[in-house]
Each structure stands twice: as structure tokens, then as C-alpha cells.
Chain A
Amino acid sequence: MKRGWIAVAVATVAVFGESRGAFSITVQDAQPQVAAADSVYGCVLCHADKRKAFIEGIHSERGIGCHDCHGGDPASLETSTAHTGTYIGTPDKLATVELCGSCHSDPDRMRQYGLHVGQIAEFRTSRHGQLLLGERNTDAPTCTDCHDAHTILTPDNARSRVHPANIPGTCADCHQDESLMAKYGLTTDQFELYRESAHGVGLFEGQNFASPSCVGCHGSHAALPPQVTEIANVCGQCHVLVRRAFDDGPHGVAAQAGALPGCTACHSNHQTERVPSDAIAETCLECHDAESRAAQLGVEAEELIVAAENDLQTADEAIGELVVAGWQVSDLRLRYQTALTDYLQIAEFQHSLDVEQLEDLGRRVGSISRDIRATAEVSAEQRWEHKLLLVPVWFLTLSAIVLGWFKLRSLKE
């Protein structure tokens, strides 16, 4: 029995000894390997917290180690010898840009990952880059302020600071700092306004990552507020048809001339307010006289749009009534979708202020809506006709009761 236990112990030692030999990494091998996998990597002896953050990032996955950015000798187990040679410690903001650019601006390195190499060039054109690289103003962010220094995650990682849903928060880290923004005459309400906007609701509540965050309009590395003449173009990247209608109308001409701040004239910028359909005419009065032809156009457009909205709503209610009554409504739903498409075209064409086009679309919406409502009315009439059945039913019932009552009385007698 004792011999048996000894044999097991020897075998265990042999197996673990073998596996240790197979998986242990020498200092020379470790340098191009992932730091996390390297138990003899000298840096982690002191910087265990950094190691923990770093191994979660994409750089760790790609085999980049501490010394690739910070220099020094990772094979050394003593601080005095490790922090020597190429060691640069913690790079400052300017050095960080150069350091990141040393790889990310190199097409030969980035090609394999499908990454473009223009970030540093773009950054130089941004307001952030102008401040940091041009004016040496360290209030401006550097690469690590947005991407983190060690836990560098890809944008598709939900924990990344540059994930679409996290970008507004990342920007707000600085842009909500009142003392910092006061230096540059900037307001700090952008994040709150954005959260309430259609874009913010789409992103945060709808989890729709196609909804633009800050970078959708301002750019990411080349972040700059759009110029007045650029605003319609920025919005038009997504709202293609609206932009086309806007350009065709009188406001488009004014916006191209720089006399109108594009879409933001009516919708504001960060809040991107929807103009309620019953407030269109009122919005026009912010710029136009009440007696002007332009104001009259606004009134006409509002009436058309409100009427189309009402038509859609009543058609929707009519379909609901028919569903409850057990009618087959697939054809009507298809027609409703057609009306909805026409209504959405109204929303587009109102930007061109082409009233004839709006009237035509409004007529189509109204026609479909009337058809749907007519079907609901037929259903309601049928339900009413059903109630007529109660007349003979209760006539016969009451007759039976009266006759039966007399018969019962005669039986009792």
C-alpha cells in the first residue's frame, strides 16, 4: 500500500514537472509574448495593478508588452536595472501622441489589423490637437484620455470608453467640467441636451448604435464643431432625403450662403428638438413676420401635416377596432404602411416648402385613411345590426314568460 502511494506521488511530480517544463517561458521568449502569460516578466513584480488592467485590453492580445511603450528591461527583477536604457516612465500628453503614432501611423503595422493610420493626422486638425500639439496646452486630451492608458479596448467592446453607447459619457468627462470649460467659453450642458434629443433617446433607450453620438457630428480624432455652412451637410450624412429637400427649398439656399445655421435653426444642435407638427407655424415666426408669405407657408404646411397626422391616427384606431371585432386586417395594415410612407415623405418634403407636393401627399394619406375608416364603419354597422336580433328574441321570451306564468297559475288553482 505504501509503495502504491509513493508511486502516485512520483507520477504526480513527473506530470507537473513535465507540464511546468512545457509551459514555462524563458526571458528571451517572453519579450514578444503577452505579458499576462509571463510569470517571469519583471514589470509585474511591482506593477501588478497595471498588469491586471493591461491584460484585458487589445494590446495584450496582440502581444505588446510594457516595455514596448515604456521602454526599460522587462527581464530584470530589480527596479534599478529594469528602469534603465530606453525606459521613459510615464509619457506626458505630447509624448503619448507621438508614442501611439509610432505604431498607429505605420501602415505596415496597421494593415494586418485593418486599421487606418490617419488618427494622428486627424488629431492635429482637431481643436484638441490644435491646443495640445500647437499651443502645448495640456488641458486638451491626449490619446489615453479617451482610450485609457492600459485597458485599451476595441470600440465594439461594451466596456470600452469609445463604444458608441459610452462615447457621450467619455466626452462629458471633460465637457461637463465647468471650471475647465469656462476657460474656453464653452457651456457644459451638451450631454444633458443630447440625452433628451432624438439621437440620445435612440442611443441610450433604443440601444440603436446607428444613432449618432458626439463623434457622429463632430468627428472622433478630428473633433471640431461644424461650421455654419457645414451643418446641413453633417446632418445630411444620415438624413439624406431631408437634406435633398432642404437644399431644393429656400432655406437651403440661405444655409449655403451662410445666412442660416442649417438644420439647427429650427431643431437646435445638441438637443436636436423635433418641431411638433402643431408648432410649425409658430417656429416660422421666430424668423419671419406674421404677415409675410413665408409665415403663411408655415401655416399651410402645419395644417397639412396636422391633418395627415390625424388621418393616420384615426386609421390606426380604426384598424384597432377591426382587430378587436375579429376582422382580418392584413390588407388594411399594408395600406396603412403606404399611408405612413406618404406621411414620412411629407416630413421630408416640408423642408422644401413645396406646398403642392405636400398637398398631393396629404391627399393620398387622407384617401387611404378614409378607406380604412369606411371598413371600420361597416363593421360598426354590422355590430349594430346584430343587436336587432334581440327584438325577436326578447319578444318570444317575454311571450313565453307571460303564457307560462298563466299556465303555472292555472295549474296551482
Chain B
Amino acid sequence: MKIFPFLAFAGGIFALSHHTASANDDKTALIEEGRYLAAASDCAACHSIKNKPEYSGGVSFTLPVGTIHSTNITPDMEHGIGKYTEAEFGRALREGIRRDGSTLYPAMPYPSYARLTDHDVHALYTYFHEGVSAAAIPTPENGVRWPFSMRWPLMFWRWAFSPAPAKAQEKTLHEFADAQMARGAYLVEGPAHCGACHSPRGLAMQEKALTASDGTSYLAGGAMIDGWIPTSLRQENRTGLGRWSEQDIVDFLKTGRNMQGESFGAMTSAIVHGTQHLTESDLHAMAKYLQALQPFDRNQTNWVYDPTATIALRKADVSARGAKLYVDNCAACHRTDGKGYPAVLPPLAGNPVVMGKDPASLVHVVQTGATLPKTEAAPSAFTMPDFMHRLNDQQVADVVTFIRHAWGNNASAVNAEDVAKLRKDMPPRNMADGEISIN
């Protein structure tokens, strides 16, 4: 975005006398707008792979039906989208229809992108054709088993679950009268496609709700992705964002860290490639919008800090299940009071991830560790080491159970069998680029 002051200056001087310079400036500004939207849409998370040209695809997704790969979306004529017209590009983006007429796997979040305005599609098209370098890299063959390898049945899925762009745009546009809320709705429901992970899906893998007005299942927490459980982004007091302030949400999306917790798992990629690049005003709009989402689960009692566990640990009473393991392995950073040292070392007391119904994220963090990658605004990357080399399944179950019960947390106990199952499918500790941090 640094380019804008310069452009404004240059434009001011040359606008009257040099028509072409002005046209170039408009084009440059449009490309920049497209670059911004591509970040907001987190295209890189699926279409860029480390050490390969940007947006050249090849990221693999392991699904129950087999393995699929993201495509090359650089303007390369043969392997990329160089031959796409803007209309074809828009149709792929918003309706999931390839240039050849076949249907895209719904891993591409076209039910969300359906909301993109024509102007934003134009900016994205301009950016992907003129702001991105062409890379002649073929997309790997998908390894999807028959009958799922046939794309034509996907058409029915698309007909059933993918909204028509015009209707989708209308709907999102008119949900809120307030301009900031409307902007938030557009970003969250549209380009940022938060629901792709954070909304529950139905039997046909369709998102149960695509917008705030579709009901309280929207963003109410999704199914496991790459070993991580997307939490509810609604206002549940214990397992959602009920106790996060607007600034907490902004800080989280900007830096991956705030006074309530830190990013891990698949979300780090969304922050590193996507949300950290958004303007403060867009982030505030998204935060305001999320805060307006009433809880899906209305039966949660408010979380209140309970010092019982803290007092016991300070008296060296480690009789509770997992308490001694907690003191020996976790308390140095997360403290005996569970409050951690935010925003460096996250709190466990009252943390929505800790209290989630499904303990998979918490178990995986303990097993594999987690790296909070650097962002431009927060260059320090912090790494929690893995504990699987020290703790067996029973011990992980015990310490996780302690964490889920202490300090007012009230989530269910975890047993060794659950931990053993999760151990078989462990994600890398740094989901952003698979590498540990240099810090």
C-alpha cells in the first residue's frame, strides 16, 4: 500500500497534461486494489506453495474421496488462467464453473466468493493478469477415486448449494444498514470466506449457512480441518468470541496474537497470507460484524475465573488429575494461575479453544507444539515445543483434562484412546510454511 502517496503525488502533477500517465496510474491502482482483495480472499493459502512462484498452485488437499490439488492461477497461457476472459474468471470465482464448463471442487469457496462485486472481480482479474507473473508450472494430477473423480455430479451440488451471484450480493449488501457493518458483512461472508472453515457443514458438505441472516449456525464452529477444530466466531461466552473485545479481534487478525490467545493451526496461514494485510478500518468492520452474531449455543454460563486450582498448585497440592504434569511441563510459561503472559504466552484460563467440545486442537498443540509466525506488525515468532517426546497418551490426556477443568474452565475430560487416535494424524506445528520460526 506504500505506493499510494507516491501515486497521488504523481497523479496530481501529471493528471492534466499526460493522459497516458493517468491511465497507467489508474491501472496501477486497480492492480493494487486487486492485490489487496487477493489478500483479503486469502487466495495464497491454497494457491501458493513455499519455494514455488506465487499463485502457481500445487497445494494438495487430502479429502475422504482422495487428494486434490489447487490450480495454477498465474496468467500463464498453458498452465494458468491466461486464456480466461474476465467473464470466465468471474464465473469460476463466483459460480465455480471452469472455463471448459466443468464444475470446480467446492474446496474453492465459490459460495462465498459469489458475493464479490463486479468491481472487485474486475480488480482481481486485472491483478491476476497484470500484477502476477506467469509461471509455466502444470497443476499435478488429482488423485480422486472413481466415482468421485467424475466432475459432472458436482454440478448437482453446485445447483443445490451455490447461490446465484446476483442474489448473494443482494443478500449480503442489505443485511445491515450501517455502512461499517455492511462492509464487515461483505468481507466476512464474501472474500474472507470465514465460513468455509468456521461454519458447520451438512450431509453433502455444504455450509449450513452462508450469511448472518441464514441463522445462528453461520460461523458457529466447523469440522476438523488438517487436525484443527475451527472455533465458533459467534458470541458464545465460553467457546466463541463472547469475551473478546473489538480490539482483541482486530489484533488477532493483524498480528495473530492478543490478550486472549494466539493463532495456531490452519488459522496462521489465513493471518499470514491474508488478514494481516487488511487495513485497520476493514479489520474493525469485520470485528464489529462478528460481535453482532448472537450465540448459537445459548446455554453457556458465563466463564468466571475460579482460583481453586491456582490455590491448590501454590500449596503444592497436585492431587488433581494432570496437575503435577501441568506444573512440570506447562506452568513455566502458562503459569500456575493459567493466565499466561499475553500477548506473548497465551492464557489457558477462559480460552475458547481450551473449552471446545472437541479437544482435538488442544491435544494437537500439546503433541506437536505450535509456532506463531511473525507478521509485519509483530515480527516476533513464538514457538511452543512439542511434548509428545516427553508425554505418553495417558499423560497428554491427563494434562489436557486438567487444563480443561481448571480456573473456571468446564470442558469434558479426555481419555488416552482419544489422544492415541489424534496422534495418528498430526499436523505440522507451523501451518503457515511448515517451518519452525527463526526467533
**Is the pairing of A and B real?**
no
